[in-house]
Amino acid sequence: MRRVVSEDPGDVPGGSSGRADPAAGRRLHLLADLVADGEVVVLSGAGLSTESGIPDYRGETGRRRRAEPMTYQTFVGSAAARRRYWARSHLGWRHIARAAPNAGHRAVAELQRRGLVSGIVTQNVDGLHQAAGARQVIELHGGLDRVRCLGCGRRTPRDLLDRRLREANPGWHAEDGTVNPDGDAAVPDELVESFQVVDCADCGGLLKPDVIFFGENVPRPRVEECYALTERAGLLLVLGSSLTVMSGYRFVRHAAERSIPVAIVNRGPTRGDADALLTLDAPLGPALTALLSALVPAR
């Protein structure tokens, strides 16, 4: 049964100027009308977490710096690369761990609580959807709060590794530098060289964050689960992703090929705009807060 949306959701900030944009308000009203039908599957990207202080790769915060993410091949093939990664990630994890969900994350959780969102797929590894109260989130690229041994396969909490690294590096200190969405922070070379890496406490194998590096494939069962969720969607709602990489864009294509409507809320253009029924260039937190206000809760 179709739910009611308010007659006037109000203006929302525009994507480039940040000022109230009546056209954006009208698009928001159309988006609310789509969301009100329910069965919404959310596909979120790094742009949803920028208001929590975590930069993105390709959006406005990403364009201010050069991001060179670690590749899987480099990580497993070079002890020096692993030392550099863990020194930078050890520092960056502190920033990720203290980040708090923003209004956008809370809005998605509320939409799920109201029964309008049937599934959440996130390309983010920061855990902020869950921290905001969302349930059954599919972490497409894994999560930084876990560590996996490449030898025995055991997964352990990131906090445990953090304690071990602190013990192995007494007195090691670096200032918080620029942090990437994967928790990688800028650290001076001289501090990297003095950093001591630890291995698996059970088998001595190499430890890796439980995330998908560039050059590594998302496990096929996880991909198939996302495809199946997309096929059951009444609306695929993309939030804060430029869809530059195929990892997320494939679900937009999958939906479009099956005539499942796609709506995109993002700062700036995306690769999926041509596949979308509706696009909204706006800050995620204010736009999703306004969307909630536009939806009259079912009685």
* 89 in a known ligand binding site: no
Cβ neighbours of residue 59 closer than 8 Å, sequence gap 6 or more: 46, 47, 50, 240, 242, 266, 267, 268
Q: Decide if 110 contacts 292 (C-beta within 8 A).
A: yes
Q: Does 266 carry a binding-site annotation?
A: yes
123 annotated among ligand-binding-site residues: yes
CA distance 117 to 111: 6
Q: Is 241 annotated as a binding residue?
A: yes
Q: State the sign of the Cα–Cα–Cα–Cα dihedral 246, 132, 143, 64.
A: positive
Specify the residue for token string 């304690």. 163
Cβ neighbours of residue 246 closer than 8 Å, sequence gap 6 or more:
none
Q: Establish whether 126 is an annotated binding residue.
A: yes
The yes-or-no answer on residue 141 being catalytic is yes
**Is 125 marked as a binding-site residue?**
yes
Is 226 part of any known ligand binding site? no
218 is in an annotated binding site: no
Q: Which of 90, 105, 141, 254 is catalytic?
A: 141
- For residue 251, what are the β-bridge partners? none
- CB contact at 8 A, 18 and 299: no
Q: Answer yes or no: is 203 a known binding residue.
A: yes
**One-letter identity of residue 266:** N
Q: Is 6 annotated as a binding residue?
A: no
Q: Are 120 and 42 in contact (CB under 8 A)?
A: yes
Expressed in percent and rounded to 5, the helix, strand and coil fractions of the chain are 40, 20, 45
Task: Consult the annotation and say whether 240 binds a ligand.
Answer: yes
Strands (E), the chain: 12-13, 20-21, 40-44, 117-122, 137-139, 142-149, 155-157, 207-211, 235-239, 262-266, 278-281
Residue 124 labelled as part of a binding site: yes
In three-state secondary structure terms, 283 is coil
268 in a labelled binding site? yes
Residue 73, annotated as binding a ligand = no
Q: Angle at Cα 118 formed by Cα 278 and Cα 156, nearest 5°?
A: 115
Residue 152 is labelled as binding a ligand: yes
Which residues are known binding-site members for NAD(+)? Answer: 123-126, 240-242, 266-268, 284
Which residues are known binding-site members for Zn(2+)? Answer: 149, 152, 200, 203
Catalytic positions are 141
Which residues are known binding-site members? Answer: 123-126, 149, 152, 200, 203, 240-242, 266-268, 284
